Structure 1
């Protein structure tokens, strides 16, 4: 039985959440702060994004120490998540990876 799929699914969800909160912070909250003087929006969205990013990084460390991800892949995923739209690229890459794993035949069966 393949145990990589639930891990990939959880990581994909975290990638999507991290990328979405980063874009909300950069494209909505920061302009509202500077153009409309609504600094409270950044005060709300910033910590939410920070928490999601920390959970995402914690999961990368957990997966790397469990040897489900190589350290190089974990670092690449962490760095890409810090770039706007990078999380969505990771999300699609993990989706393709998950699809490739699920298309492989189960060992011991024809």
Structure 2
């Protein structure tokens, strides 16, 4: 039995696996990570302003820390820009939400930072 051909198995339709020396980009599961990051950041950036109800979901699913981590991808400036724009949109949405609530949590009637209950 030749090395790597696998021994003894009844004449099935599977050919023995041939070792590859170089993966083509289409075969490498990590090859499209930069493009996936770019597409994801663009979608987040474009979706959130149009669908403001996704903001709590984005917060629950930790999209903000993910986008923040993408700012450190110095070899992917397009991903950095899209992540920064998405984070800017999120910050703007949070600020406008704060304004809609009458400024609570900004030293208003809430009593303390955040204005979330408590005895202050």
Range into which the TM-score falls when normalised by the shorter chain: 0.3 to 0.5
Higher RCO, 1 or 2 (CA under 8 Å, sep at least 6)?
1
What TM-score does the superposition give when structure 1 sets the normalisation length? Answer: 0.35
More helix by share: 1
Larger radius of gyration: 2
TM-score, normalised relative to structure 2: 0.33
